[in-house]
Chains A and B, each alone.
Chain A
Amino acid sequence: MSKVFIATANAGKAHEADIFSITACNSFTISCSGDGYLKLWDNKLLDNENPKEKSYAEFVHKTGLHHVDVLQTIEKDAFEMCLVATTSFSGDLFFYRITRENGSKKVIFEKLDLLSADMKKNSFWALKWCASNDRLLSHRLIATDVKGTTYIWKFYPFEDQTGSSSPDWKPVLELQGTIVSPMTPNQFATCVDISERGLIATGFNNGTVQISELSTLRPLYNFESQHSMINNSNSIRSVQFSPQGSLLAIAHDSNSFGCITLYETEFGERIGSLSVPTHCSQTSLGEFAHSSWVTSLSFNDSGDTLCSAGWDGKLRFWDIKTKERITTLNMHCDDIEIEEDILAVDEHGDSLAEPGVFDVKFMKKGWRSGMGADLNESLCCVCLDRSIRWFREAGGK
């Protein structure tokens, strides 16, 4: 089954520094960058509308931001909530509530102070919201810190949970617990994800992935990436559960190449890896997904397609059932429509002709506007040339 993706929109020079992370919800695509800004990009664009015309920026921290995630839900009494969490290079965790002014549709960033002073002393790294579809269960936030600890909070948006008539907006984060890294010396916890089935995966700098149970916060098992014995450059770059939670995809380095390994989550068995044939002379263990690091993974809504972002400037799409590559999208700095926004060389003087991809996210059907948007899934990615690109699946069912 072949899939074709076509570019729908792009924004060059979206930020002044590297855009390390991107996330999306129904209303916005959200990017965060080393320049310290959080930017919201409206998903609902008219034809030929420049994404920059409908982008909203908020300066968060001067050391720069590296991870961002969003929680957009509709609570009881049709209370719309859009919460953005982001982490800075100084290790701080910031929260914003995004609202729109009624008449002008102006976007308002409301900064929330949800962490206790003690908690603020930690240096946070990756983070992930987990929306709960069940009104009785709370939403959760998971974050890792640089010492390898995973923190799990329960999020309560309203003061009174007992079901009074009008909900009082009073957001509270209540620490459910922490999962301490089993390794000494401490390893950097690079990425985290949570599954529908209540599992937490934390990826570490040394190639280990720890799977824990959300209900008990008990570590279940560890995966060691296949190259960990051979060389020491095998950091886990991304962990991603499939939407149904039965699969875990792990992106990890093999020196300067990138691999993707799939595990099933019930027994923790390795079920294969995604790779392309390489003609690399430098290593005999050539099972690579990208000829540079795989920086990010994203499953589509149905879970049968996985998209991987590579530092080699490629997005690759994989069929999970056959474990074969469906298609590849090549990034080029000249893709950017507006000529002034093309960044061909960075400030170091290095060419950005084939810019590495920092992050990629699938977007659900109907999130983006435009032709065929309700029938097709979309995708957004951020590249080293400081651009954001949006794609959508061609055709549709």
Chain B
Amino acid sequence: MALQRLRKKHRTRQELLKALTPRTRSIHLSPNEHSNGSAGSNAEVLSHIKQILSLAANSLEQHQQPISIIFDNKTKGNSGGNKVSTTLDFPLTGPHLFTHQFKLKRCSILLNLLKIVMEKLPLGQNTTIRDIFYSNVELFQRQANVVQWLDVIRFNFKLSPRKSLNIIPAQKGLIYSPFPIYVYDSITKCEDEFQVEKQTVSPGKPCLIPFFQDEAVIRLETTSHCNIVIVEKEAVFTKLVSNYNKLNANTVLITGKGFPDFLTRLFLKKLEQDCSNLISNCSIFTDADPYGISIALNYINSNANASYNCPMVNYKGVYITQILAQNNRTGSKFVQLLSLNQRDYSLAKNLVVSLTNNGEGIISSPFKNFIIECQREIFFQKKAEMNEIDVSMFRLQ
């Protein structure tokens, strides 16, 4: 009966559809839409999250009204101005009911993350992204989803990327030091109240690089000069730790396990800033393949953020020519040489193109070593891994 009445009122199919679609309640994720100013302190973030969650709950429970969450998305390659607004509807209606199920998932990820933040933030402890991911694998499916949606929350709340919300990436970098290293980190307890926290990298055993803020200060507890050796792989790191006596005295070993995380790079940058008078040398060793070159380059110069770039790092190998030389030396371990595949070739070619793209020739380029190594790997069409390389290679001559 009601339908008939509606049909009389709305003659066309379009109008009828419109009349039958329930009105939705819009919830803006970004606080700026209503109140000016960013959500600076934890308390503000908390209250804002509470507001969003209660709005959503009220709408669904009390008013039986669908909600749509509206948030801004970062646009790639465009730092300011253009923001792209995205809408997530819950529940789905109309023709999208069966085709847009994935949108429902996004909505639940977002609401879940907000809830997790709301629970964890008042505790004042750091939580890792990995822990959050494993708390509900079924929902998040991939760890990248957690990262992505945390970024959305941070962007909309105008928070600094990576460090806010007390959620941090799990540390990846390992360090082994013969002497203690202290990290002095100032932590905001409340507004205008700081507390200096001291973390120690204990000597003589490998440990994770501790988490610290941008403003932290690092002190090396040594009087003599030290030598920093960065290696690409954990396997080589462990091998060097167990053959530590074959290395130079006072060597600090660091590995970022493949491409380094921001924390490892920040740690090195801090070492360069705070302790350069105590560091005699800093070298990096990676696999003799285009990825190795790319990883070494990542420590020294990555376009992402100049404040992480660490020019004191010297790319010292392992070069394909060194591996050949070791293979041809009688009595030394044999390292398997592999052919470059098309993917390796493209990467190496792109590396050469981008490294030589800054106008100056190879002669004056600060990345001459990298360019030459790239060219040789391409020319010989060979790559090799550093696992079986002689420990003596890591000694300073």
Contact = CB atoms under 8 A, between A and B. Distances in A.
Interface of A: 16-18, 20, 34-36, 59, 62-64, 66, 89-91, 123, 146-147, 185-186, 188, 190, 205-206, 231-233, 235, 253, 255-257, 280-282, 291-293, 311-312, 347-350, 356, 384
Interface string B84-103: 00000000000000000000
B380 to A, nearest CB: 7
A290 B319 CA distance: 21
Contacts of A186: 342
Contacts of A282: 327, 334
B342 A64 contact: no
Given A231-B336, A348-B372, A350-B319, 7 more contacts: A18-B376, A62-B362, A147-B342, A233-B382, A292-B328, A293-B324, A348-B321
Interface string B308-347: 0000000011010111110110110010111111100100
B238 interface: no
A103 B341 CA distance: 51
Closest 4 pairs (CB-CB, A-B): A256-B327, A62-B356, A233-B337, A16-B363
A91 to B, nearest CB: 7
B352 interface: yes
A336 to B, nearest CB: 19
B10 interface: no
A291 B328 contact: yes
B53 to A, nearest CB: 51
Nearest to A37: B361
13 contacts: A17-B362, A17-B375, A63-B352, A66-B379, A89-B352, A89-B374, A188-B345, A188-B381, A232-B339, A235-B380, A235-B381, A255-B334, A256-B328
**Chain B: interface size category:** 35 or more
Contacts of A59: 361
Given A292-B328, A347-B372, A350-B325, A205 B349 contact: no
Contacts of A291: 328
A264 B103 CA distance: 67
B268 interface: no
B285 to A, nearest CB: 12
Contacts of A235: 339, 380-382
B336 A62 contact: no
A312 B328 contact: yes
A256 B337 contact: yes
Contacts of B196: none
B371 A232 contact: no
B317 A190 contact: no
Given A34-B371, A186-B342, A312-B328, A64 B334 contact: no
A281 B328 CA distance: 11
Nearest to B360: A62
A255 B337 contact: yes
A233 B368 CA distance: 28
Contacts of B187: none
A182 B336 CA distance: 27
Given A35-B361, A146-B342, A233-B338, A17 B372 contact: yes
B353 interface: yes
B369 A34 contact: no
B21 interface: no
A185 B342 contact: yes
Given A185-B342, A205-B340, A91 B319 contact: no
